[in-house]
Structure 1
Amino acid sequence: MDAEFFLSAAKNVAILSIFFLVGQWWLLRFRSRQISKRHVDARLKSSIADAQVEEKDVKLVGSRFERLQLKAGLELEKSSLFLMMLSVIAAALLIGFLFGVLAAIFVPVVAIIFAAAYWSFRYQRRRRAVFEGLPDVIDDVVRGVDAGRSLEQALVDSFNDAAPVFSPLSFRLRSAVEAGRDYTDLMDDFARLYSVPPLVFVAVALRTSSRFGSSVRPVLKKVSQALRSQQEMRREFIAATAEIRFTAVAFAVLPVGIGVGLVSMNESFRHVLLDTDTGNKLLGVSIGFVVVGVLIISRMVQGVGRG
C-alpha cells in the first residue's frame, strides 16, 4: 500500500464523516420538531379522550420496540438506534473499501450478533432478578395484610420496596390502585414479559379474592415457598454443572483462538489463506464448521440454571 492509497482512504473517511455529521444534525432537528409536535397534540387532546385511552390501556408498554427495551432494561430512543445503524454502515463501507466486500459484509453480521448476545444477557439477568425478588415481595404482601393494611396497599408498598426490575410494574400498579382500576392484568402482562408463571398464579388468586371474597394468604404463601425451593434447586444445579459448562465454553473458544494464533504467527500461511481463492474457500469452510460447532455446544448448555 503506497501513499496514494492512504490519501484516497483518508479522503473517503473524511467524506463519510461529513455525511455522518450532516445526517446526525438533520436527525436531531427532525427529532426536536417531532417532540414539539407531540407536545402540541397532547395539549390539544381533551381530558375525556385521555381518560378513555387510559382506561383501555392494560399493558405496561404498548409498542414492540418498547417491550424489547423493557425486557432488557434498555432506554434507547429511536434516534440513538438510527445513529448506531449509521455508524455500523459507515464502518462497513470503510472496511469494505480497505479490505473488500467480504470483510464489509462481516461487520453488520458481527454487530447484529453482538447486539443479540448483549440483549439476551441483560434479559436473562433481569429474569433471574425477578425470580429471586418475587418471594420477598410476596412475603411483604402477606406481612402487610397481617398488619391490617388492605391488600391493594400492601401490594403497592411491597412492589415499591422491591428490586429495580419491578419498577415499571410498581409505577403502573400504583396508578391503577389510586384510580380504582383492575390491576391484575398488569401483573399478567409483566408475567408474560419475563415468562414468570408464578406471578400468573398470584394474579389469578388476587382476581378470585376480589370477586368471591376468598382468602389469598394461603395461595401467596404456597407460591413463595415454591419459588424459594425452585431457586435453591437452581443454585445446586448450577454448582453441580459448573465444570461441564466451563469445559463446553473452552471447547467453543479454543478452536477460534488457535486458528487466530496460527494465522497471525505464520505469514506465509496467512498469505495463502487470505490472498488465494483456495485459501478463501478453506477459510470460509473452517469458519462455517466453527460456527456450527459453537451453536451445537451452546444448544447443549442452553437453559442451564435459567428460570
Structure 2
Amino acid sequence: MTGLVLLLICVLLISLSVWLFQRGLRQAGTDRVLERLSDGQPVAQEPNGSWIALERMFQRAGLGLLTMLIMPPLLLRVYIAWRYQRRVQRMIEQLPQLLDHSVRSLKSGRTLADAVLGAIDSTEAPLKEAMSRIQRNVQMGVSLPESVSDFAEFYERDEFRLFALGLKVNHRYGGNASELLENLIKMIREREQGARQLKAMTGETRMTAYVLAGLPIAMVGYFLMVNPGYLMSMWNDGTGRYLLLAAAALDITGTFVMWRMLRSI
C-alpha cells in the first residue's frame, strides 16, 4: 500500500513538471510580439470570483460544468488544459482562412463588419462556435472592435489580440482594412513558421526533459514489479526514504530548470 502511495505521488509530481515544461515551450518566443503595439492594446480583465474563473475555464475548453461530477478534479484539470490548448491551436490555424475570406469580401465592396461577420458564418468549428460570441455581442449593439476585443481576452491568445487591435485601430483612425488584414495574415503565418523552427531547434532539450521526467517513474515501476521488497526496504529506512525524496526533488528541479531555459528563449 505504501508503495502505491509513493508511486502515485511520483506520478503527480512528474506530471506537474511536464505540464510546466510544455506550457513554457508553448509560450516561448511570444512575450515580445506586441511590445511595439502596446499602445492601445486591450488589457485583460481579472475574473471576479473563483466560480466565474472556473466557468470561464470550462467554456474556453468547449465543455460543460457537469463534467466535474464525472472525472476526478486533478485529472479533469489536466484534461481541460490539454483540451483548451488543442482547441485554441486549431482556432489559430483557422484564423488566416477567416481573414482571407474577409479580405475578399472587402474587395468586393462589403463593409468591414459585414466582411468579418460573413467570414465567421463561412468558417468551420471550432472557430465558428467560438466566434459566435462576437456575433451575439454585435447583435446586442456592441461595436465589432469591442466584441473582438472581448473574444481575444476570453481566449488570451496574442493572435486574437492582434486581430482585435487591428480592428480597433482601423475603426478609430480609418485606413485600408484589406491591407491591414493581409498584413495580419502574414504575421500569423510567420509566427507559426517561427514556432515550428523553435520546436525543431529545442527538440534535443525537450527529449532530455521527457527522459528526465519519465525515467524515475519507469524505475519505480520496474522495481515494484521485479523486486518490490528492495524499494520498500529503502522507504522504511530513514536514510533510504531521505534518498528517495531527494532523488525526486532533484528530478523535478532538473525538469524545471530545463523548462526555464526554454522559457527564456
Q: State the TM-score bracket (shorter-chain normalisation).
A: 0.5 to 0.7
Please say if 1:270 is aligned against 2:222: no
1:252-292 CA distances to partner (integer Å, 9 max, x unpaired)? 21233123313432244134134445544443333333333
Q: Which runs of 5+ in 2 are unaligned?
A: 1-44
Whole-Å Cα distance in 2 between the matches of residues 117 and 297 of structure 1? 21
Aligned residue for 2:105? 144
Partner of 1:23: none
Aligned to 2:122: 161
Counterpart for residue 197 of structure 2: 236
Structure 1 residues 258, 164: CA separation in 2 closer, same or farther (over 3 Å shift)? same
Query: Which secondary structure state, in structure 2, belongs to the residue aligned with residue 258 of structure 1?
Result: helix
User: Which of 59, 63, 86 lines up with 1:70 in the alignment?
Assistant: 59
CA contact (8 A) 1:160 1:170 kept: no
- One-letter amino acid of the structure 2 residue matched with residue 65 of structure 1: L
Matches of 2:208 and 2:162, distance apart in 1: 38
> Would you say the 8 A contact 2:131–2:151 is kept in 1?
no
1:73/1:303 Cα in 2 relative to 1: closer, same or farther (>3 Å)?
farther
Q: Name the aligned partner's letter for residue 241 of structure 1.
A: T
Q: Which amino acid in the other structure matches residue 240 of structure 1?
A: M
Q: TM-score, normalised by structure 1?
A: 0.59
Q: Distance in 2 between matches of 1:178 and 1:281?
A: 63
Q: AA paired with 2:220? A: G
| Sequence identity (%) | 25
Instruction: Using CA pairs under 8 Å that are at least 6 residues apart, name the structure with larger relative contact order, 1 or 2.
Output: 2
Residue 132 in 1 paired to residue 93 in 2?
yes
Check 1:212–1:262 CA distance in 2 against 1; reply closer, same or farther (3 A cut).
closer
What is residue 42 of structure 2 aligned with on the other side? none
Shift of 1:245: 1.8
Report the equivalent of 2:167. Answer: 206
CA contact (8 A) 2:205 2:258 kept: no
Bigger radius of gyration: 1
Shift of 1:244: 3.3
Residue matched to 1:122: 83
Shift of 1:153: 2.1
Please state whether the residue corresponding to 1:164 is helix, strand or coil.
coil
Q: Which runs of 4+ in 1 moved over 6 A?
A: none
Matches of 2:252 and 2:172, distance apart in 1: 54
For the aligned residue pairs, the C-alpha RMSD in angstroms reads 3.2
Distance in 2 (alpha carbons) for counterparts of 1:207 and 1:294: 41
**From 183, 186, 190, the counterpart of 1:225:** 186
Unaligned 5+ runs, structure 1: 1-58, 89-110
Render the CA deviation track for 1:180-227: whole Å, top value 9, x for unaligned: 431322211222233333433433433344455533122111111111
Deviation string for 1:4-54 (max 9, x for gaps)? xxxxxxxxxxxxxxxxxxxxxxxxxxxxxxxxxxxxxxxxxxxxxxxxxxx
Higher helix fraction (1 or 2) = 1
Q: Distance in 1 between matches of 2:132 and 2:219?
A: 51
TM-score, normalised on structure 2? 0.67
Equivalent AA in structure 1 for residue 60 of structure 2? K
Q: Aligned pair in 2 of structure 1 residues 185, 169: CA closer, same or farther (>3 Å)?
A: farther
Aligned partner of 1:81 in structure 2 is 68
How big is the shift at 1:301? Answer: 4.1
